């Protein structure tokens, strides 16, 4: 999915657009599967009770709330988080109802680093650290293909000089 062109300035082009790594979706999917399985098991247990229809409604309400809170919300949060590198800046946007973002002009970037654990190396993600003219370096976790992003961002910074 391309980043919206109306958010770019004239002459600026998107070089890379990514969402956080898919590993962030593993817990919500597991919660979904466990919730559906447990709710189905409990529904089968109460099916022969005189109050079964009320039990099913209660189970559906609790399971639905858990799925929305612990599955749908994290998936939407993942989908609405954008890490974008353009020819002029690095943009990070996140949020659904209240959006927040940060823009780092290429000319203000002093250094680019990355780090990843052995598990992150196996999964192909890591943390990207961008040091700009601000006080503290900015860290972006769960960046997919962090080594390639690091190299590409370093090239963009070198080209902007």
Question: Cβ distance 127 to 146 under 8 Å?
Answer: yes
Task: Specify whether 15 is located in the same domain as 86.
Answer: yes
What's the pLDDT tens digit per position in 60-118?
999 999 999 999 999 999 999 999 999 899 999 998 888 899 999 988 898 899 999 99
Task: Specify whether 91 is located in the same domain as 15.
Answer: yes
Domain boundary pick from 37, 58, 77: 77
Residue 119 pLDDT grade (very low, low, confident, very high; cuts 50, 70, 90): very high
- Does residue 104 belong to any structural domain of this protein? yes
- Does residue 138 belong to any structural domain of this protein? yes
What's the pLDDT tens digit per position in 126-146?
999 999 877 788 999 999 999
- Does residue 4 belong to any structural domain of this protein? no
- CA–CA distances in Å: residue 153 to residues 12, 18, 51, 90: 15, 13, 62, 9
What proportion of the chain, given as a percentage, has pLDDT over 70?
94
Split into its structural domains, the chain has a count of: 2
Task: Specify whether 51 is located in the same domain as 126.
Answer: no
């Amino acid at each position: 999915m391309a980043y919206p062109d109306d958010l770019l300035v004239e002459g600026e082009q998107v070089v890379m657009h990514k969402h956080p790594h898919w590993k962030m979706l593993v817990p919500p999917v597991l919660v979904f599967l466990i919730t559906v399985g447990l709710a189905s098991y409990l529904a089968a247990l109460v099916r022969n009770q005189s109050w079964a229809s009320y039990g099913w409604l209660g189970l559906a309400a609790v399971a639905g709330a858990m799925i929305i809170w612990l599955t749908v919300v994290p998936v939407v949060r993942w989908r609405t988080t954008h890490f974008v590198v353009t020819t002029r800046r690095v943009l990070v946007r996140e949020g659904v109802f209240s959006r927040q973002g940060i823009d780092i002009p290429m000319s203000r970037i002093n250094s680019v680093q990355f780090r990843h654990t052995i598990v992150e190396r196996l999964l192909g993600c890591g943390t990207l650290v961008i040091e700009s003219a601000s006080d503290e370096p900015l860290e972006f976790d769960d960046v997919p293909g962090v080594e390639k992003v690091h190299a590409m961002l370093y090239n963009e910074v070198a080209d902007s000089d």
